[in-house]
Chain A
Amino acid sequence: MNAIEINDLTVAYQDKPVLWDLDLTVPSGILMAVVGPNGAGKTTLIKAILGLIDPAAGQVLVQGKPYRRQRHLLAYVPQRGSVDWDFPTSVLDVVMMGRYGALGWIRRPGGRERALAMQALDKVGMTDLAERQISQLSGGQQQRVFLARALVQDACIYLMDEPFQGVDAKTERAIMDVLRELRDTGNTVIAVHHALQTVPEYFDWVTLLNVRLIAAGPVKEAFTEANIRLAYSGRVPFHSGTSNGTSNGDGSGKGDGDDADDAPWLSALR
């Protein structure tokens, strides 16, 4: 069965389109990159799959059913910058938050949740930092904590927003190892990605976005220079080597929407 099926999805912030009529089918058991320029709607796509944003039209099916009933199958790794890292809490505590959904109302996390969290921390190589306060972590360690938090959700589909943003090379390798292991055990991983040069090495599938879908499919077929050119409107940051450098401004989905602001599309109708 397909992990994700997106039909005619349009998402708009205050009637400014961020995603236009998107059709996308993601098979199970793959590692998929979502690439595109700033304001292409990458974060928005992830959030729409998670049901964090209501679409203007279309729908998302998770393993054949609307996501509202399938939430337990999805795990989310938000952008690292989206939270206050000075919050008084420990690494282990943050990881255990991944179990809150399964716990339901009122019940408190206990020994079982603690054990699961420690397992997840082991997978990302951070058991010895379990009791550390989160403000004392490096960027790479913070990203690994978020990954561990998603791992304890015990989901089938992992949605990650720029997992490699601002992390060191060692963390990047560690994260990739975990993602490959997830894929090899039948899970699906979808990650917003910025470094085009690592797409063929890291991922099996790729989705090229620029407000609408440019191409999607196995990397060999879809990740062609023509498609990349199309997605980046001719301005391909491919050989610059610092394609990451332009990614900093691409923050939340709201930023995405703002970027699409200048589009003169609306005047087309008047």
Chain B
Amino acid sequence: MDAGRLLHDLFFDYTLRTVALGAMALGVVSGTLGAFAVLRRQSLLGDAISHAALPGIVLAFMFTGAKDPLWLVVGAAVAGWLGALTVMWIVRQSRLPEDTALGIVLSVFFGIGLVLLTYVQREPTASQAGLNTFLFGQAATLVVDDVIVIAVLGSVALGVVALFWKEFKLLSFDREFGKSLGIGMRGIDVLLTTVLVIAIVIGLQTVGVVLMSAMVVAPAAAARQWTDSLGVMVVLSAVFGALGGVTGAVASSTAAGIPTGPAIVLAVTMVVVLSIALAPRRGLVWEWVRHKRNQQTVRTGAVLTDLYALASHHKERGHGHKLAVLQAMDARRGGVRRTLDVLASRGLAARAADDTWSLTEQGEQEARAEIARREGDDA
């Protein structure tokens, strides 16, 4: 399918449009809430919540006997919320570290879900197949009702973030100070966790239980690289989430045999990789360039002062010095010829025909300044 056709379908094909809208909405919500989770070092809480949601989904299915999206989401939310509170409870009441508590909740809740699932799978109802998609997500099964549920719950979640923006910021940055201001930080903590649960459960049908946590971590981790402002980070994270959601969901519903969850996860992972590599100031490429530039500065400085030292033995300026001599003086660093070329291009050194080099007047001044700088550093 060519790109133009895909773009056309994205707007006019009912299924594709539904899928894209749903994936975009959940990407925005999980990206937004993920920013707070990542900043609070709770990246893996999302994993525990999404796994813990499984028994809730199955129970909701058993009680309603149908795949009504609202009830499944409510069931998932209640179970996921209980899972999150259980993690807090275990950490508060025992000496177990948080990651162990996460592992316990994740595996035990999921195990209970598996037990319940065996009962459901025995009933040969047509819609039970839909339940299986909760493991890895299947965007193609999204219908308008699902998208409405995602949009409504997602709006509630975003609304809460907007209303409690400054409290959530305070909670993430300096909880104790917030408490000293008389703000009920524990309540705020529970509220933020609850909204995180909502963000996760609305994505389960599309992305799946196993991989939903990546939708929380990846957009936020990518967004953090591009900005030093919480507001910008949250918006970027939402944008990355939406981008990943749409890309993955569309890829999955147009090509056969690609489950949506993995497709979305790979899309957002690409964004993370690009961000870690390319982001200005923090990114690895940037870091590498800065490192190289520093090295170059050190090298030119060294060759410059070497030339200056040689020149001080001769009266007339412009007396040429052999490249080999300079190379010997600078044996450890190497790249002397290239450095000399750099110096020449900046008008600091001049090359004579017999491959001998000398300082220009400007170069001499620069060398003196360099020596003064070094002595200043030593002092």
Contacts and interface: CB of A to CB of B under 8 A. Distances in A.
Interface of A: 50-52, 71-72, 74, 76, 78, 82-84, 87-90, 93-94, 97, 100-101, 103, 105-106, 108-109, 133, 135, 149, 153
Contacts of A109: 166
B183 A90 contact: no
A94 B165 CA distance: 14
11 contacts: A51-B180, A52-B179, A78-B177, A87-B39, A89-B169, A93-B230, A97-B174, A100-B170, A100-B183, A105-B167, A133-B228
Contact of A83 (B174, B232, B233): B174
Interface in B142-199: 163-167, 169-170, 172-174, 176-183
A261 to B, nearest CB: 15
Contact of B229 (A74, A78, A88, A106): A88
A161 to B, nearest CB: 10
Given A87-B173, A88-B39, A103 B182 contact: no
B280 to A, nearest CB: 13
Contacts of A87: 39, 172-173, 230
Contacts of A51: 180
B227 A88 contact: yes
Interface of B: 39, 163-167, 169-170, 172-174, 176-183, 224, 227-230, 232-233
Contact of A52 (B180, B227, B229, B230): B180
B233 A101 contact: no
A108 B165 contact: yes
A89 B181 contact: no
Given A89-B229, A109-B166, A101 B182 contact: yes
A135 B228 CA distance: 9
Given A88-B233, A106-B163, A76 B173 contact: no
Given A89-B173, A93-B230, 5 more contacts: A52-B179, A71-B181, A90-B229, A94-B173, A100-B181
Contacts of B165: 108
A156 to B, nearest CB: 15
Contact of B180 (A74, A88, A90, A94): A74
A88 B228 contact: yes
Contacts of A72: 182
Nearest to B223: A88
Contacts of B167: 100, 105
A269 B172 CA distance: 43
A175 B6 CA distance: 63
Nearest to B178: A100
A82 B174 contact: yes
Contact of B177 (A76, A90, A108): A76
Given A88-B228, A108-B165, A109-B166, A83 B183 contact: no
A109 B166 CA distance: 9
Contacts of A149: 177
A50 B183 CA distance: 12
Contact of B166 (A83, A103, A133): A103
Contacts of B178: 100
Contacts of B232: 88
Nearest to B179: A52
A249 B305 CA distance: 47
A16 to B, nearest CB: 16
A105 B227 CA distance: 27
Given A90-B228, A100-B178, A101-B183, A108 B166 contact: yes
Contacts of A103: 166
Nearest to A149: B177
A106 B180 contact: no
A83 B41 CA distance: 13
A106 B164 contact: yes
